[in-house]
A and B are shown apart, each in its own frame.
Chain A
Amino acid sequence: MTRSTWFMLLLGAPAIALLLFGPRGAVHIPQGRVVVRYWEKWTGVEAEAMQRVVDEFNETIGHDEGIWIEYSSISDIDKRTMIAAAAGDPPDISGLDDRMVAQFADLDALLEIGDLVREFGIDGDKFKPTWWNIGEYKGGLYALPSTPFTIALYYNRAAYRAAGLDPDRPPRTTAELNDYAVKLTKKDERGRITQLGFTTSPLMLGWWHWAWPFFFDGQLWDGDRLRIDTPESRASFLWTQERRSRMGISAVESFESSSGAIEGAQNPFISGRLAMVFQGPWMSNWINHYNPDLDYAVAPFPSVTTERENVMASADVFVIPRAAPHPREAMRFLEFVMRQENLEEVCRAHCKVSPYRAPLERFEKDHPNPFIHVFDKMADSKYVFTCPRAPMFPEISQAMLVVLLDVLHADDPAKVDVAIEKGQRTIDLIVDAHQAKAARRAGR
Chain B
Amino acid sequence: MHSARPIRNVVLYVALVAIAGMFALPLIWMVAVSLTPPTELATVTFLPQHPQFDAYGDVLHSESFDFLLYARNTLILVVLSLFGTLACSSIAAYGFSRISFPGRDLLFGVCLATMMIPFPVVMVPQYMLFKQIGWIGTTLPLWVPASFGHAFNIFLLRQFFMGIPRDLEESAMIDGCSRWACFVKIILPLATPALTVVALFHTLAIWNDLVAPLIYLVHKEQFTLSLGLQFLQSRSGNTPWNQMMAAATLIVLPVLVLFVIAQRAFIRGIATTGLKE
Interface assignment of A179: CB less than 8 Å from any CB of chain B: no
Q: Does B42 lie within 8 Å of A271, measured CB to CB?
A: yes
Q: Does B123 lie within 8 Å of A83, measured CB to CB?
A: yes
Interface size class of A (residues with CB under 8 A): 35 or more
User: Which residues of A1-46 have CB atoms within 8 Å of chain B's CB atoms?
Assistant: 4, 7-8, 10-11, 15, 18-19, 22-27, 37, 39, 41-46
- In the bound complex, CA of A15 to CA of B240 (Å): 28
Contacts of A285 in B (CB 8 A): 236, 238
Interface assignment of B104: CB less than 8 Å from any CB of chain A: no
CB-CB nearest in chain B for A51: B63
Q: Does A264 lie within 8 Å of B237, measured CB to CB?
A: yes
User: Which residues of B216-240 have CB atoms within 8 Å of chain A's CB atoms?
Assistant: 218-223, 227, 230-240
- Other than the known A19-B76, A19-B79, A89-B131, what 18 A-B pairs have Cβ atoms closer than 8 Å? A11-B254, A19-B72, A25-B223, A26-B221, A27-B221, A43-B234, A44-B232, A44-B238, A72-B220, A73-B231, A80-B215, A87-B124, A87-B131, A88-B131, A263-B237, A265-B42, A271-B42, A291-B42
Q: Does A75 lie within 8 Å of B214, measured CB to CB?
A: yes
User: Which residues of B62-106 have CB atoms within 8 Å of chain A's CB atoms?
Assistant: 63-64, 66, 68-69, 71-73, 75-76, 79
- In the bound complex, CA of A89 to CA of B127 (Å): 10
Among A23, A48, A76, the residue within 8 A (CB) of B72 is A23
CB-CB nearest in chain B for A261: B237
Contacts of A270 in B (CB 8 A): 42
CB-CB nearest in chain B for A26: B221
Interface assignment of B136: CB less than 8 Å from any CB of chain A: yes
Q: Does A22 lie within 8 Å of B215, measured CB to CB?
A: no
Contacts of B239 in A (CB 8 A): 263-264
CB-CB nearest in chain A for B260: A7
CB-CB nearest in chain A for B130: A87
CB-CB nearest in chain A for B128: A87
The listed residue with most A CB atoms (<10 A of its CB), out of B68, B72, B237, B240, is B237
Interface assignment of B155: CB less than 8 Å from any CB of chain A: no
Interface assignment of B252: CB less than 8 Å from any CB of chain A: no
Per-residue 0/1 for B227-268: is the Cβ within 8 Å of any A Cβ (1 yes, 0 no)?
Answer: 100111111111111000000000000100110110010000
Q: Does B66 lie within 8 Å of A23, measured CB to CB?
A: yes
CB-CB nearest in chain B for A76: B214
- In the bound complex, CA of A48 to CA of B79 (Å): 33
CB-CB nearest in chain A for B227: A75
Interface assignment of A208: CB less than 8 Å from any CB of chain B: no
Q: Does B231 lie within 8 Å of A83, measured CB to CB?
A: no
**A interface vs B, CB < 8 Å?**
4, 7-8, 10-11, 15, 18-19, 22-27, 37, 39, 41-48, 72-76, 80, 83-84, 86-89, 262-267, 270-271, 282, 285-286, 289-291, 350-351
* Contact A286/B238 with A75-B230, A87-B124 known, Cβ cut-off 8 Å: yes
Among B63, B124, B261, the residue within 8 A (CB) of A7 is B261
Contacts of A7 in B (CB 8 A): 257, 260-261
Contacts of B38 in A (CB 8 A): 289
Per-residue 0/1 for B37-58: is the Cβ within 8 Å of any A Cβ (1 yes, 0 no)?
Answer: 0100111000000000000000
Query: What is the CB-to-nearest-CB distance from B130 to chain A, in angstroms, rounded to a whole number?
Result: 8
* Contact A22/B72 with A42-B235, A75-B230, A285-B236 known, Cβ cut-off 8 Å: yes
CB-CB nearest in chain A for B74: A18
Among B42, B63, B68, B136, the residue within 8 A (CB) of A18 is B68
CB-CB nearest in chain A for B214: A75
* Contact A41/B236 with A22-B72, A73-B220, A76-B214 known, Cβ cut-off 8 Å: no
- In the bound complex, CA of A79 to CA of B30 (Å): 29
- In the bound complex, CA of A83 to CA of B221 (Å): 22
Contacts of B254 in A (CB 8 A): 11, 15
* Contact A25/B64 with A87-B127, A263-B237, A285-B236 known, Cβ cut-off 8 Å: no
Contacts of A88 in B (CB 8 A): 128, 131
- In the bound complex, CA of A262 to CA of B227 (Å): 24
- In the bound complex, CA of A15 to CA of B254 (Å): 10
Q: Does B237 lie within 8 Å of A18, measured CB to CB?
A: no
- In the bound complex, CA of A325 to CA of B214 (Å): 23
Contacts of B215 in A (CB 8 A): 80, 83
Query: What is the CB-to-nearest-CB distance from B91 to chain A, in angstroms, rounded to a whole number?
Result: 26
Contacts of A267 in B (CB 8 A): 42
- In the bound complex, CA of A86 to CA of B75 (Å): 31
CB-CB nearest in chain B for A285: B238
Among A84, A271, A282, the residue within 8 A (CB) of B236 is A282
Contacts of A282 in B (CB 8 A): 236-238
Q: Does B241 lie within 8 Å of A75, measured CB to CB?
A: no
Query: What is the CB-to-nearest-CB distance from B60 to chain A, in angstroms, rounded to a whole number?
Result: 12
* Contact A23/B220 with A4-B261, A87-B124, A282-B236 known, Cβ cut-off 8 Å: no
Query: What is the CB-to-nearest-CB distance from A219 to chain B, in angstroms, rounded to a whole number?
Result: 28
- In the bound complex, CA of A88 to CA of B76 (Å): 29
* Contact A11/B258 with A19-B79, A25-B69, A83-B123 known, Cβ cut-off 8 Å: yes
The 7 closest A-B pairs by CB, nearest first: A25-B221, A263-B237, A22-B72, A290-B42, A265-B41, A23-B69, A87-B131
Query: What is the CB-to-nearest-CB distance from B19 to chain A, in angstroms, rounded to a whole number?
Result: 24
- In the bound complex, CA of A438 to CA of B127 (Å): 26
Among A24, A46, A72, A86, the residue within 8 A (CB) of B124 is A86
A-B contact pairs, 27 of them (CB 8 A): A10-B257, A18-B68, A18-B71, A19-B72, A19-B75, A19-B79, A22-B72, A23-B69, A25-B66, A25-B69, A25-B222, A27-B222, A39-B218, A43-B64, A43-B234, A44-B238, A45-B238, A46-B236, A75-B227, A83-B123, A86-B124, A87-B127, A87-B131, A263-B239, A270-B42, A285-B236, A350-B236
Contacts of B220 in A (CB 8 A): 25, 72-73
Q: Does A48 lie within 8 Å of B257, measured CB to CB?
A: no
Contacts of B127 in A (CB 8 A): 83-84, 86-87
CB-CB nearest in chain A for B39: A290
Query: What is the CB-to-nearest-CB distance from B49 to chain A, in angstroms, rounded to a whole number?
Result: 15
- In the bound complex, CA of A264 to CA of B33 (Å): 13
Among A15, A25, A41, the residue within 8 A (CB) of B235 is A41
Query: What is the CB-to-nearest-CB distance from A208 to chain B, in angstroms, rounded to a whole number?
Result: 14
Contacts of A72 in B (CB 8 A): 218-220
The listed residue with most B CB atoms (<10 A of its CB), out of A22, A73, A265, A282, is A265
